[in-house]
Structure 1
Amino acid sequence: MGTKSITKKRFVYLDFIKVLSIYFVCCYHYNNLPKNFLTEPSISTYFNYLFTGILSTGVPLFFMVNGALMLNKGYYLKKHIKKIINIILLTVIWGIITLLVLAIINNKHYTYVAFNYSLWSWENGSINHLWFLQALVCVYLLFPLIKEAYDKEDKTIFKYITIVVFILTFGNVFLNIIANIIRGVFGINIIEATLGITNITGNGFNFFNNFNVFRGFYAYTIVYFIIGGIILNRINNKVTIKTTHISILFIVGMVSLFAYGIMISRINGAIYDNIWNGYDTVMTLGISIAIFCFAYEFRNKLEKISNTIEVIGSNTIGIYFIHRIVGTLIKPIYVQLPYSYSLAPNLIFGFVVMSLSLVIALIIKKIPLGKYLFSI
């Protein structure tokens, strides 16, 4: 396959990144943190908003680990195609399971047609979290082409692919950020002024129009996938990673995402979701790279709890499938508790959601054929 392949041995720091990833997802989906600094400005609401910026790395980190592992080892096309089909089937199966269970929990009734429509549209608030697996399938469909370019000694085509995808995803969002900053600082809406287009929220304007081959697809995930592969390759080739540089990257990313979120929130009069809207920003990209590198730098210390990390890391997909059901069940109880709006209890609650989901996944795996519900 051309490149130096990694062995089948598990890397504790990669498992740890997966643990962080699923933990951040659980914290994002199920917390009770007050963050509305527009209506309730206080040190705590601003700090909560700053903190939640780190949760925007949850999904990106998973794609980085995926790319790190897949781009740096061999693969067989037939097995890869079977894997894609398997992910699609599991996504649909868990879409059905989750819809049915949540309907029971929420006492919601569907007609046959309404249920099918909810499944087809990945109903918001029920199964829209499965967008992640849809994006993963899209990345996997393109993987053989990316891998072929990655494995060549001449990296020209690989660099071309990376740059094009970056420009049409992160680059497009960066142009939105610049336009929003101009609007916030100078009061000039350049999109409306030049094209007459209104009601553009967040980072949603496509500057490349129909020339953007990646419109309508979470193509920024390809960038995270590729960067994960590049970082692991450099680590394998003993490229030095300076902790100071990583720290600066992390701090700059966090602060700039926080500042941008405050500005755009005040422009639109509504709190900007710095997690969901952060995924395809250069700020979250920087934070994600920093966390990935930090995990590698502290890999020796992680060895002390490697067994626990491996158990969670090898079951992240099971936790992901189940956490929506667990969170929906127990959050109404949690929000009634004293101090459920404080940061520390919310961090603990995210851990509880993750842990309960892990236990349920492990139990299901013990049931005959149960393991196939999480086999990707």
Structure 2
Amino acid sequence: MKKKRVIGYDIIKFIAMFLVVMLHYSFYTRYYSRGLAGTLITVLCVVCVPLFFSVNGALLLPRDMDEVKHYRKTLNIIIVVTIWKLLAATFFIFVDGSHPVTAKDLAIFLLGGGFGDYPTGYFWFMNALIAVYLVLPVMKLAFDAEHKIAFNALLVVLTVFTVGKDSLTFILQAVGTMTNRDYASLTSSLGEFCIFGPYGYVLLYVLVGGVIGRHLKRTQAKHSDDALHLLSAISPAKACIGIALCYVLTLLIQRYQHAAHGTNLTVENGYLLLPTFIATILIVLTVGQVNVQGIWSRIFQVIGMNTFGIYMLHLMGLILLNKLQSLPRFQFTGNMNSVAVTLLNILLCTCVFAACLAVSASLRKIPYIGRLFTL
């Protein structure tokens, strides 16, 4: 039986995927405003990865799980990602060709590392997703447990040693800047108490997404036994205000990091800061309930089904666009003011997104090849 798609989750996937393309676009295009105009856009992108992991949790954890089928799917994901790594390596060697690589570099890349000096770091997301799938049955046991003490303890531990620790570190860092003292180093050793490694926040977002997904399913089924009454009290209007406030706070954090450390465009440890965490919860909670009809429903379904393909193709598209921008006809871009070049960048990013979507949607219809675009 074909699973019914949740349009709200497809919309979240669209938002997350476009922000991923926009974020990477800012680093691989030849012309981008590193001032406030460009930063206003890139700060929006800080929720992209948390949204992806949260929507995966919302889709996977509330469902019944067949462990055999799950691990078959996990093996399929590993095979598909390995093929994509080989395709990416081929692209960078023969199309980019700017750096020499060895067989050892390829082996390291296939085993989860980078590919020499080529920009293949975006594969970290797939490595982390595979890691989540490998331990998902254990997470599912805690998620489904009748007594929630173990699950709540897991949430608390993950929150304290990811979002909690890094948010506290930022506060101490800001206080240290104002007082000319080093307070941030006080939290540098707290990671020693966390066994989940640098990507513990990934598990946190998956679990929180699962909690929201379960809440939305119970709400739609009109069940009144949901323990999370706080989520029910958050109206769309309140959520939008909260998201806007989180964005402003994140922008202020970025401006501080820019002034104190010269950070451009990105937000240091942005995925682990409290405003990002809260904004992610509010977006998934609010947008997850959206249900559009007609042509918009079909558009979001197509995008939702092709986010994996877009993710695998987008950096190749950005590299090709970078080469295209070296042509004389693009030189005028360097003379545009920051607002104008930012608007042009949004348009070009949209073109890259649409092109990758078109390629993915077309190729997934071809037998065997289509498996590379479906997870």
Normalised to the residue count of structure 1, the TM-score between the two structures is 0.85
CA offset at residue 66 of structure 1?
0.7
Distance 1:349-1:293 versus aligned 2 partners, 3 A rule? farther
Paired with 1:270 and 1:320, the residues of 2 have a C-alpha distance of 26
Cα RMSD between the aligned structures?
Answer: 2.4
Task: From 7, 16, 39, give the equivalent of 1:12.
Answer: 7
Which blocks of at least 5 consecutive residues in structure 2 are unaligned? 220-231
Residue 73 of structure 2: SS of its match in structure 1?
A: helix
Q: Does 1:169 align with 2:162?
A: yes
Q: Does 1:310 align with 2:301?
A: yes
Q: Which residue of 1 aligns with 2:246?
A: 253
CA offset at residue 149 of structure 1?
1.6
Paired with 1:98 and 1:110, the residues of 2 have a C-alpha distance of 13
Q: Which residue of 2 aligns with 1:207?
A: 189
CA offset at residue 318 of structure 1?
0.9
CA offset at residue 29 of structure 1?
0.8
Paired with 1:65 and 1:209, the residues of 2 have a C-alpha distance of 26
The within-5 A match list for 1:37-186 is: 45-108=35-98, 109-120=100-111, 121-123=113-115, 125-186=118-179
C-alpha contact 1:16 1:313 (8 A) present in aligned 2: yes
Q: Which residue of 1 aligns with 2:255?
A: 262
The AA in structure 1 aligned to 2:102 is T
C-alpha contact 1:162 1:223 (8 A) present in aligned 2: yes
The AA in structure 2 aligned to 1:227 is V
Distance 1:143-1:303 versus aligned 2 partners, 3 A rule? farther
Paired with 2:15 and 2:252, the residues of 1 have a C-alpha distance of 24
Q: Which residue of 2 aligns with 1:237?
A: 218
CA offset at residue 48 of structure 1?
2.7
C-alpha contact 1:15 1:309 (8 A) present in aligned 2: yes
Write out per-residue CA displacement over residues 167-209 of structure 1, whole angstroms, 9 at most, x where no aligned residue.
Answer: 11112211211221112222211256x7xxxxxxxxxx64314
Paired with 1:89 and 1:206, the residues of 2 have a C-alpha distance of 37
The AA in structure 2 aligned to 1:75 is M
Paired with 1:114 and 1:146, the residues of 2 have a C-alpha distance of 34
Task: From 22, 27, 37, give the equivalent of 1:27.
Answer: 22
Write out per-residue CA displacement over residues 80-107 of structure 1, whole angstroms, 9 at most, x where no aligned residue.
Answer: 1122222222222211210111221222
Q: Which residue of 2 aligns with 1:4?
A: none
C-alpha contact 1:18 1:313 (8 A) present in aligned 2: yes
Task: From 290, 308, 316, give the equivalent of 2:282.
Answer: 290
C-alpha contact 1:98 1:126 (8 A) present in aligned 2: no
Paired with 2:307 and 2:81, the residues of 1 have a C-alpha distance of 15
Distance 1:11-1:252 versus aligned 2 partners, 3 A rule? same
Paired with 2:6 and 2:331, the residues of 1 have a C-alpha distance of 39
CA offset at residue 153 of structure 1?
2.7
C-alpha contact 2:165 2:190 (8 A) present in aligned 1: yes
Q: Which residue of 1 aligns with 2:345?
A: 346
Paired with 1:284 and 1:125, the residues of 2 have a C-alpha distance of 29
Distance 1:279-1:125 versus aligned 2 partners, 3 A rule? farther
Paired with 2:118 and 2:169, the residues of 1 have a C-alpha distance of 27
CA offset at residue 8 of structure 1?
2.6
Equivalent residue pairs, number: 348
C-alpha contact 1:168 1:214 (8 A) present in aligned 2: no
Write out per-residue CA displacement over residues 201-254 of structure 1, whole angstroms, 9 at most, x where no aligned residue.
Answer: xxxx64314222122x31211111111111122223333531232123212211
CA offset at residue 309 of structure 1?
0.7
Paired with 1:71 and 1:184, the residues of 2 have a C-alpha distance of 42
Q: Percent identity?
A: 26
C-alpha contact 1:264 1:272 (8 A) present in aligned 2: no
C-alpha contact 1:179 1:191 (8 A) present in aligned 2: yes
CA offset at residue 268 of structure 1?
1.7
C-alpha contact 1:175 1:207 (8 A) present in aligned 2: no
The AA in structure 2 aligned to 1:221 is V
C-alpha contact 2:305 2:374 (8 A) present in aligned 1: no
Residues 178-187 or 113-122, more deviating: 113-122
Residue 350 of structure 1: SS of its match in structure 2?
A: helix
Distance 1:55-1:81 versus aligned 2 partners, 3 A rule? same
CA offset at residue 17 of structure 1?
0.6
Q: Which residue of 2 aligns with 1:223?
A: 204
Paired with 2:208 and 2:354, the residues of 1 have a C-alpha distance of 29
C-alpha contact 2:166 2:269 (8 A) present in aligned 1: no
Distance 1:104-1:63 versus aligned 2 partners, 3 A rule? same
Distance 1:290-1:209 versus aligned 2 partners, 3 A rule? closer
Paired with 1:225 and 1:142, the residues of 2 have a C-alpha distance of 12
Distance 1:235-1:113 versus aligned 2 partners, 3 A rule? closer
